[in-house]
């Protein structure tokens, strides 16, 4: 057997040597550029002109060859550097395997590169002039100047250098830059940029500093934070753990303060005190670039820095584009006449959708048409012939993204390059939706590939503009959406646009009826503007607006109550012109005609309109800021300040471990903020968990009156030794030890009989004491201090303990006194019901229960499964929302549970299932469509929908498959959890207990942060979780070796989840924890075709499940438990050589 020994230092050294060669090449190029491209003017005769032309061609050829050599050299350097860090990361991971239990899986290269701040970060002087101010730089010097803070769009910057640190071998050096991005009366946004100026990778860095007692960090991004009094310790996220030589990482934070602002002090990096880095020292900067000054806010020379485009700014990108989407695979295809009509409507740019993975994992339009298929090329020729420029979009809602199928970033970059070279188009859009938004390894691979492409194309003089298209809510990008941008910036992507899909919000955000889609689009854009400002404090407001694109779905949306009218289009254009936003789009050109009124279709808007009327409206958008200014500092190489939640958001890692303590006390109060009718406000305080240096607690505010309670306000005092570090479901303002909490948009109104729970995490020194001086809506509340024990059915062991979520805690859920009845606490406490954290483990015996895809054709053979397959229980997937927001199989109106036209097809299958002696669990959610909680804003209405499904089929085992962006939608998580608790409470009272499982994506290292949020939110809201079912499939981690390992990874994932659940259920035995865990592999060929779960893997997992006493085994899906073409991914076969129901027979041993 051959072995390969990789020494990271050797690879890094080779990369450094090659980078030196690259610098020499660039220097020679710089010296010769004038003599090869700027010849003296020819004399006024034909001979001189010919000679000048000849030498001019020689010069151009030289420059072209030089650029290609530089690009080739840059690619080698980037690959070597990335591989050195991959091996270094592997060494670090293997050296401490226990650290991997709660961390995200690593990608093939985890190299945040490039400069994150607008100042130099090592003691080497300033790096070029930048618009907006100056930079103060020192080498381990004391920065004595202080400032009262910069204004929005500028940064107050101080730089220091510290020797030593975490690197070994080679020259070491760490530069630290502190910058204040913006300030206001009660707070500020600031950042620290840590730069590795050594020659070897810097891993597992640590930053420490003190803040004055009147300042407190409320949220932090691109790092994990721990607080002890006024002392803060920041450690990396998975994607910021390693800093390449010459690279940097920026950690941003938002802080509140009372009185005057003061900068941090006592700065320490990797155990070494740093002078001059803790105080801000004069001058503001508007986002300068490294490696050369900026001209007009853009990059100069097009050079590359650390694998990204220099400075990260976007040069000469004009605001005011209208670029509608064209579905390139739609029939009939666009022709010359269509293109001419589009041009006549005023369209001069279009976005071509979508390229995904096709045959042989090669780029293909819609996964079907090759790049050069005549159906595609004829459409592009028609557009170009009509004078319409084009952008190419990758991804979208359907198909397999190339970032999944490509084995590594280099291959993925080659795929992107093949598209650029095929069409000569250098504007690329990346539409990232669904589960991909939470897949850090895939996002990292994608970002690295994009950065490589941008670096290479910039060196060739053909820079690539990149936009990210992301789902949005009126409240802004979701946490997952922000994570996409964080990872992109951390890996060196130069982002020109953030294009938001202003569509399909769901009724949870507008309550149904006829929402004003123009208003919602504008709200969404305003929210994202604020998020971009917080992500990169060096941005001015104008620069942030110029980075934003808005794409509505014209006419009737998929959520049919949402109708974007022509009037909405004019409203959005006026707003876009007013703010000079970067771009408007629309989905899609083919829908820009009336079509069939009232119907959602690909070839019509469904509303009365003339052909191309939306295009004509949007084409009026021309912007006013196309002056070449672009965005300075807006797309900083390797990061800039990468975003996170702002404004009272969560701080660093969620809620962590420890013993449970405290309890709930009542303390109802009358009076308050409602007018008219009977009023009454109850406030319940609960401690969910405690540990030596902190605790998690919550206040539940209950409206016991008869009219809605709006704009409530909660006030309380904490002892001087306690400080809130994060708060969810509300906004917090602090003045010394006094805290004032006001609602988020989704918690603003409390219905009669309803409640809102605001949770928070706090640090403490010394002994714990409860809050005092509690006031709700101006009325003092007795009972603000906890008196021990629990009241109203509260529990210990619930709350949000252990394994908390990164950067978010369990947002939006908080603790509700250990379990809610009727959707919230009434009269100041909770009553009845089973409570989170205290399940008894008495649910049914372990069983094998494969998933059945109920909407798949041909229909499943239940009789065969019950006989040959030895199956006696299945999970039926999936119930989601139809166009009216009602329960339907697969989300199809025809399969609506309340009487769809084709529902008999489903019911016939269920009858066949019963005839075969098979019982069932019903699963809600899944990877496609919208789970009911996403479209049902009222908890009681949601309960009724779930109950209608149980009543229709008589099943009382419910599974909730929560994937993708739904895991980050805290409002829907809370609604769903409260509804489940109400169902369970009613079921207990009726003698029909409701058994609930949550099915969640997993990595070999365990549940992701988002997955943990689902679990902790459910516990906090009183759900009695019988099973946590993990989807041991589709890891898409190129750093893993999959052959023969899928069974091992499933076992590793189950073991990791066991360890994550232990602190959440401190009263459970080890056996009871194992009995809560179910495992669901995808049999045979997975969506990532290199992942193949074999029959041997099935046997290995079954043996493990029997040894540990797991709660259940499942598989996706029994529809696939057949032979078929080997190596082919299919819905009706496994892609491996097998006999019929071979997997079922193996897994069936588990419950025999």
The catalytic site residues sit at: 433
Residue with tokens 């006549």: 344
Residue with tokens 């270094």: 88
CA atoms within 13 A of residue 215's CA, in its CB half-sphere = 23
Cis status, amide bond into 858, omega within 30 of 0: yes
In angstroms, the CA 74 to CA 29 distance is: 15
Q: What percent of the chain is helix, strand and coil (3-state, nearest 5)? A: 30, 25, 45
Assign 760 to helix, strand or coil.
strand
Bridge partners, 847 (sequence order):
1112
Q: Considering only CA atoms, which of 940, 661, 728 is closest in space to residue 820?
A: 940
Question: Helical H runs in 800-920?
Answer: 862-867, 903-915
Q: What are the phi and psi torsion angles at 496 (to 5°)?
A: -85, -45
In angstroms, the CA 700 to CA 702 distance is: 6
In order of 254, 1115, 1127, the CA distances from 166 in angstroms are 27, 44, 45
In angstroms, the CA 338 to CA 326 distance is: 11
Q: Are strands 995-1003 and 1006-1007 parallel, antiparallel or unpaired?
A: antiparallel
Provide CB contacts within 8 A for 573, sequence distance 6+: 584, 617, 618, 620, 621
In order of 461, 718, 720, the CA distances from 771 in angstroms are 62, 5, 11
Q: Are strands 730-735 and 738-743 parallel, antiparallel or unpaired?
A: antiparallel
Query: Quick one: DSSP state of residue 806?
Result: B
Phi-psi region for residue 678, left (φ > 0), alpha (ψ -120 to 50) or beta? beta
Bridge partners, 363 (sequence order):
357
Q: Considering only CA atoms, which of 548, 13, 76 is closest in space to residue 304?
A: 76
> Contact at 8 Å (CB) between 992 and 947?
no
User: Chain centroid to CA 1048: how far?
Assistant: 28
> Contact at 8 Å (CB) between 701 and 828?
no
Provide CB contacts within 8 A for 825, sequence distance 6+: 682, 684, 700, 702, 755, 792, 816, 817
Q: Considering only CA atoms, which of 1125, 1077, 1039, 1072 is closest in space to residue 440?
A: 1039
- The number of residues making up the chain comes to 1152
Q: Residues 860, 865, 871, 872: is their CA dihedral positive or negative?
A: positive
Query: Quick one: DSSP state of residue 126?
Result: -
Cis status, amide bond into 1125, omega within 30 of 0: no
Residue 671: both structure tokens together:
């009076």
In angstroms, the CA 111 to CA 106 distance is: 11
Cβ neighbours around 654 below 10 Å, total: 27
Residue 737: both structure tokens together:
């030890």
Q: Considering only CA atoms, which of 1023, 1011, 527 is closest in space to residue 818?
A: 1023
> Contact at 8 Å (CB) between 661 and 796?
yes
Cβ neighbours around 171 below 10 Å, total: 12
Q: What is the 3-state secondary structure (H, E, C) of 980-1000?
A: HHHHHHHHHHHCCCCEEEEEE
């Amino acid at each position: 057997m051959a072995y390969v020994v990789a020494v990271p230092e050797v690879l890094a050294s080779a990369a450094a040597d090659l980078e030196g060669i690259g610098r020499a090449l660039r220097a020679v190029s710089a010296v010769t550029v004038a003599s090869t491209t700027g010849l003296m003017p020819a004399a006024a005769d034909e001979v001189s002109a010919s000679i000048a032309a000849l030498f001019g061609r020689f010069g151009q050829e030289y420059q072209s060859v030089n650029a290609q050599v530089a690009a080739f050299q840059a690619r080698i350097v980037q690959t070597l550097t990335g591989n050195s860090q991959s091996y270094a990361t592997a060494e670090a991971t293997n050296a401490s395997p226990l650290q991997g239990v709660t961390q995200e899986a690593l990608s093939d290269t985890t190299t945040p590169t490039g400069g994150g701040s607008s100042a130099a970060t090592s003691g080497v002087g300033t790096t070029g002039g930048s618009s907006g101010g100056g930079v103060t730089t020192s080498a381990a010097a004391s920065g004595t100047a202080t400032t009262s803070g910069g204004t929005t769009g500028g940064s107050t910057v101080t730089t220091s250098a510290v020797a030593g640190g975490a690197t070994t071998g080679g020259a070491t050096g760490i530069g630290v830059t502190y910058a204040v991005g913006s300030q206001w009366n009660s707070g500020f946004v600031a950042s620290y940029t840590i730069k590795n100026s050594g020659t070897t990778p810097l891993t597992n860095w640590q930053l420490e500093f003190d803040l004055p007692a009147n300042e407190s960090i409320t949220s932090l991004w691109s790092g994990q934070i721990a607080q002890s009094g006024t002392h803060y310790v920041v450690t990396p996220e998975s994607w910021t753990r390693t800093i390449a030589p010459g690279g940097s990482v920026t950690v941003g934070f938002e802080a509140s303060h009372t009185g005057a602002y003061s900068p941090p002090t006592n700065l320490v990096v990797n155990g070494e005190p740093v002078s001059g880095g803790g105080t801000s020292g004069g001058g503001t900067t508007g986002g300068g670039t490294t490696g050369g000054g900026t001209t007009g806010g853009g990059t100069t020379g097009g050079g590359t820095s650390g694998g990204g485009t220099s400075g990260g700014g976007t040069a000469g990108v004009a605001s005011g584009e209208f670029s509608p989407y064209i579905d390139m695979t739609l029939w009939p295809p666009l022709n010359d006449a269509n293109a001419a009509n589009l041009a006549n409507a005023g369209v001069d740019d279009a976005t071509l959708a979508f390229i995904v993975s096709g045959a042989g994992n090669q780029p293909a339009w819609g996964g079907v048409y090759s790049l050069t298929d005549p159906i595609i090329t004829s459409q592009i020729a028609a557009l170009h012939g009509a004078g319409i420029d084009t952008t190419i979009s990758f991804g979208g809602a359907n198909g397999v993204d190339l970032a999944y199928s490509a084995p590594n970033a280099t291959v993925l970059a080659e795929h992107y390059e093949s598209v650029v070279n095929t069409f000569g188009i250098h504007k690329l859009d990346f539409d990232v939706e669904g589960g991909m938004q939470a897949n850090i390894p895939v996002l990292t691979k994608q970002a690295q590939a994009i950065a490589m492409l941008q670096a290479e194309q910039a060196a060739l003089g053909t820079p690539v503009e990149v936009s990210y298209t992301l789902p949005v809510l009126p409240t802004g990008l979701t946490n997952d959406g922000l994570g996409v941008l964080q990872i992109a910036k951390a890996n060196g992507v130069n982002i020109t646009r953030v294009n938001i899909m202003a569509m399909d919000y769901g009724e949870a955000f507008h309550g149904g009826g006829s929402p004003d889609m123009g208003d919602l689009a504008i709200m969404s854009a305003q929210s994202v503007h604020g998020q971009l400002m917080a992500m990169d404090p060096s941005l001015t407001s104008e620069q942030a607006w110029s980075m934003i694109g808005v794409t509505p779905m014209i006419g009737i949306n998929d959520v049919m109550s949402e109708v974007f009218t022509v009037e909405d289009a004019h409203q959005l254009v006026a707003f876009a012109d007013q703010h000079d936003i970067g771009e408007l789009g629309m989905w899609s050109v083919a829908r820009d005609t009336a079509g069939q009124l009232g119907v959602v279709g690909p070839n019509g808007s469904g509303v009365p309109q003339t052909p191309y009327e939306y295009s004509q409206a949007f084409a009026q958008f021309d912007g006013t800021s196309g002056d070449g200014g672009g965005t300075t500092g807006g797309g900083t190489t390797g990061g800039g300040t990468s975003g996170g939640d702002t404004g009272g958001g969560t701080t660093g890692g969620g809620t962590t471990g420890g013993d449970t303590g405290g309890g709930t006390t009542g303390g109802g109060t009358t009076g308050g903020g409602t007018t008219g009718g009977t009023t009454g406000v109850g406030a319940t305080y609960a401690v969910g968990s405690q540990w030596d240096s902190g605790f998690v607690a919550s206040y539940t505010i209950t409206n016991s009156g008869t009219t809605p309670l709006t704009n409530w306000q909660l006030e309380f005092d904490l002892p001087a030794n306690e400080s809130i570090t994060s708060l969810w479901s509300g906004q917090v303002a602090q003045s010394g030890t006094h805290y004032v909490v006001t609602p988020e948009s989704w918690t603003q109104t409390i219905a009669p009989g309803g409640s809102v729970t605001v949770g928070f995490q706090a640090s403490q020194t010394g002994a714990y004491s409860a809050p005092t001086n509690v006031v709700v809506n101006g009325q003092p509340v007795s009972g603000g201090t906890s008196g021990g024990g629990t009241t109203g059915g509260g529990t210990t062991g619930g709350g949000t303990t252990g394994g908390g979520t990164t950067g978010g805690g369990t947002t939006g859920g908080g603790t509700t006194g250990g379990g809610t009845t009727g959707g919230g606490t009434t009269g100041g406490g909770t009553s009845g019901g089973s409570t989170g954290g205290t399940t008894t483990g008495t649910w049914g015996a372990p069983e094998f229960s494969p998933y059945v895809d109920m909407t798949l054709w041909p229909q499943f053979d239940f009789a065969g499964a019950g006989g040959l397959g030895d199956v006696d229980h299945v999970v039926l997937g999936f119930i989601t929302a139809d166009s009216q927001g009602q329960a339907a199989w697969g989300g199809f109106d025809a399969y609506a549970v309340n009487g769809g036209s084709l529902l008999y097809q489903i019911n016939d299958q269920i009858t066949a299932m019963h005839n075969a002696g098979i019982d069932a669990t019903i699963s809600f959610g899944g990877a496609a469509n919208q789970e009911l909680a996403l479209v049902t804003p009222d908890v009681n209405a949601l309960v009724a929908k779930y109950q209608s499904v149980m009543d229709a089929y008589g099943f009382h085992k419910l599974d909730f498959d929560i994937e993708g962006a739904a895991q980050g939608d805290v409002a829907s998580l809370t609604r769903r959890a409260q509804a489940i608790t109400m169902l369970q409470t009613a079921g207990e009272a009726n003698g029909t207990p409701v058994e609930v499982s949550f099915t969640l994506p997993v990595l070999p290292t365990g549940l992701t942060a988002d997955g943990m949020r689902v679990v902790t939110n459910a516990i906090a809201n009183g759900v009695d979780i019988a099973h946590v079912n993990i989807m041991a499939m589709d890891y898409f981690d190129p750093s893993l070796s999959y052959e023969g390992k899928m069974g091992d990874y499933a076992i590793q994932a189950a073991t990791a989840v066991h360890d994550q659940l232990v602190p959440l259920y401190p009263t459970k035995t080890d056996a009871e924890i194992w009995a809560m865990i179910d495992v669901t592999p995808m049999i045979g060929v997975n969506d990532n075709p290199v992942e193949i779960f074999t029959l041997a893997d099935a046997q290995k997992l079954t043996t493990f499940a029997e040894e540990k006493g797991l709660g259940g085994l499942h598989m996706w899906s029994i529809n696939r438990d057949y032979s078929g073409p080997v190596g082919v991914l299919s819905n009706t076969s496994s892609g491996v050589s097998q006999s019929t129901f071979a997997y079922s027979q193996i897994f069936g041993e588990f419950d025999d």
